Each structure stands twice: as C-alpha cells, then as structure tokens.
Structure 1
C-alpha cells in the first residue's frame, strides 16, 4: 500500500508543478524537463538491459 501512496504523492507533485508553470507563464521550462526525464529514463534502461552497448555508442 505504501507504493500507491507514494505514487499518488508524486502525481500530486507533478500536478502542482504544471499548475505553477501555468500560473507563472513558465511553459518554456517544460520541454527542458521532458528532455531531462527522457535522458534519465534512457540511463536507467541502459544500465539494466542488453541494450546498454548500443546506447553507449551514441555518446
């Protein structure tokens, strides 16, 4: 049950962040955060799978 509560809390944080962007006209930050999230996801996937050698050749 703790996992679901943490997930709900994280969703609340994301919703609050999007509300902040909307109210303060900071929408230009959103693409940077999306790219940062994609890089983090790529690194996590590359560390735990057989795709790692192919990802490391990209950099």
Structure 2
C-alpha cells in the first residue's frame, strides 16, 4: 500500500505531503522503519551455521 493516493481525514490533503501531524504519523506507519528480520529467522540462521560448523569440524577430524 502506498500513501500517494490516500487523503487525510483531518486536513483533507494527500497523506504523502505530510501537512499535519496525522498525515505524518500515517505516512510513517505505512513506510515503516525499513527492513527488519524476524528474530526467529535470525535464530534459525544461527543454529544452521552452528550445525554446519560442527559437521565440518567432525569431518575434518
């Protein structure tokens, strides 16, 4: 979803312009704070790396 076509109910201007605090809050909520990785995905990745390291260590010995 994009805020380009949304109209603010408070000031009746496009949300993308951010003319009032309500517009700015809605725009920030829609755009978020960037890319975020779920903690469970990070944990799964770390466990996979740990498992791979243990397997490689076992094969090298």
TM-score by length of 1: 0.40
Larger RCO (CA under 8 A, 6+ residues apart): 2
> Larger % of helix: which?
1
